[in-house]
Amino acid sequence: MFKLNIKHTIILLIFAVWGCKEDFLEVTPKGRLIATTVEDYSRLLTNRKLIVINTDAQIPMGDELTAIETYFRNAALRTQRLFRWDPVIYDQDIDAVEMNEPMANIYLYNKVINEVMEATGGSDSEKRWIMAQAKAGRAWTYFLMINYYGLPYAEATAANNPGFPIVRVANVMEDTFERNSVKEVYEFIVQDLLEAIPDLMPEINDRVRPSRSFAEGLLGKVYMYMGRYQDALPLLQSAIHGLSQATIPAALYDYNETFAPGGSMDGGGMFGPPYPTTINVHENIFSKQAANDWTFGRYELVISEATVALYDSVDFRLNFYDKGPLWSPDEYPNGMLRRVGPGVAQMGMMVSDLYLLQAETKARLNDLLGATEDLVHFRKHRLPPGHEAIAPVITNNRIALITYILEERIREFALQGDRWFDMRRLSVDEEFKHTVGYTHNVVNDDGEVMQTYELKPERLVLRFTEKLMRQNPGMVNNP
């Protein structure tokens, strides 16, 4: 049993609600937001704090990165610790960024789920729609939390591995919780999504509100993380099919067009391509974002030489990189590159993720032709004509094709945080865990390795902070 000190973050969340009347911001003695009508509860789900969550710990932990010692030695201590996969990330009086806004958001989702059916005004179907949105949002948040604080899902151990507390109430005075198992948290996520899907809108008409395509895609992704590929595939297929019913643009960008002269991402110079804001990104079907300082103002983390080698020289995605620090004529050693955009990491649900997950799932199920077709279709949107093809030696070999798809995920999401979550699931994958040996290098200006850090199995999870441990003396921390 332990206490979660989330009262401060919830009070901040209350005052961030968009466009709410003054008395809507009040808190009752039991710590509850005052909402009475269906419209009130609906407006809660357009809260900016549900979009801008600023949980970026996963970015420095990806193995596609190298640190440049000149800048790394002056980097924020938190950055250094995350990159080194240290057991302690925060000093004793510091709250974890990874918990602040997600926990406040769980409170908000719980409030909507528990109360909306008793709200005044609106029909039962509208109330169920609002509840379904909250359940889908809660599921997304718990999927993030369990991938921070619980070991990767493995059927043989999930029931015994400690995960994250399942909180179902919306009461800031509640301060005692049990840490549920990894299996229980995954089952909770699955249940939320299964209950939400029938009542969600079939068409995508708002990137802030969950749609059926989003919930299906997320459930498919959750099943993939559980190794349930047969269950994942139809959900991913349905989510992609739903893109055609969207009333707003919801499709892959074709970089052949956007990076063409006069295209929407043409230009930008040293500041990177002009990428849209989160709620206007066509590939975003559910908006969540975290600031990514390593794509603009910080120079210590770059993509490694091995990562650069994964790209075809004409890959349009290289437009998101520069050879050296901003305002400097110097270049990084060994051809390593600094990411220059977009300025925020898209964390919700991306169309690009759906296509790559579907391709991987088909390859896992030995549909090599289907997986290849999906992958080639995707690559046509990222490379010039004639460069999207994949060698038969890869497409005719199941393991080689899965490996190539995983590498495509690195090409697509490098220095955006996605790689950390792939590393976690591969570490318990019976077919790939023997190939896992994750390291980070710190190099000098000449490219010589100064330090090497190896990821230990126990560091596949974050530890709870010292502050949280003091507040909860009965809590057992991760190793």
Residue pLDDT, tens place only, 305-318: 999 999 999 999 99
Q: Is the pLDDT of residue 414 over 90?
A: yes
Contacts (Cβ under 8 Å, ≥6 apart) of 414 = 62, 64, 303, 307, 339
- Between CA 232 and CA 242, with CA 236 as vertex, the angle to 5 degrees is 150
Q: Is the pLDDT of residue 33 over 70?
A: no
Residue pLDDT, tens place only, 387-411: 999 999 999 999 999 999 999 999 9
pTM for the structure as a whole: 0.93
Average pLDDT over residues 204-228: 97
Distance between CA atoms of 352 and 440, rounded to whole angstroms? Answer: 27
Residue pLDDT, tens place only, 179-200: 899 999 999 999 999 999 999 9
- Banded model confidence at residue 128, pLDDT cuts 50, 70, 90: very high
| Structural contact between residues 290 and 53, judged by C-beta atoms closer than 8 angstroms | yes
User: Which residues are registered as beta bridge partners of 449?
Assistant: 443
Predicted pLDDT at 131:
98
Average pLDDT over residues 50-69: 96
Nearest to 462 by CA among 99, 50, 15, 46: 99
Count CB-CB contacts under 10 A for residue 248: 13
| Structural contact between residues 155 and 425, judged by C-beta atoms closer than 8 angstroms | no
* Chain centre distance of CA 286: 11
Q: Domain 7-253+347-468 is of which CATH architecture?
A: Alpha Horseshoe (1.25)
Q: How many helices (H) and strands (E) does the chain have?
A: 18, 10
Q: What is the percent of the chain with per-residue pLDDT over 90, rounded to a whole number? A: 83
Domain boundaries, the chain: 7-253+347-468
Residue pLDDT, tens place only, 340-392: 999 999 999 999 999 999 999 999 999 999 999 999 999 999 999 999 999 99
Which pair of structure tokens corresponds to residue 77?
């201590």
Residue pLDDT, tens place only, 156-180: 999 999 999 999 988 765 656 678 9
Count of CA atoms in the C-beta half-sphere (13 A) of 79: 19
Of residues 120 and 476, more confidence is placed in: 120
Predicted pLDDT at 258:
97
Distance between CA atoms of 375 and 453, rounded to whole angstroms? Answer: 33
* 240 DSSP 8-state letter: H
**Mean pLDDT score across all residues of the chain:** 91
Distance between CA atoms of 298 and 295, rounded to whole angstroms? Answer: 7
Nearest to 172 by CA among 116, 108, 112: 108
Helix H or strand E segment including 350: strand 349-350
Which pair of structure tokens corresponds to residue 105?
């958001």
Count CB-CB contacts under 10 A for residue 160: 10
Count CB-CB contacts under 10 A for residue 360: 25
| Structural contact between residues 326 and 296, judged by C-beta atoms closer than 8 angstroms | yes
Residue pLDDT, tens place only, 260-287: 999 999 987 777 899 999 999 999 999 9
Which pair of structure tokens corresponds to residue 279?
């709620």
Predicted pLDDT at 177:
66
| Structural contact between residues 272 and 340, judged by C-beta atoms closer than 8 angstroms | yes
Q: What is the percent of the chain with per-residue pLDDT over 70, rounded to a whole number? A: 92
| Structural contact between residues 308 and 335, judged by C-beta atoms closer than 8 angstroms | yes
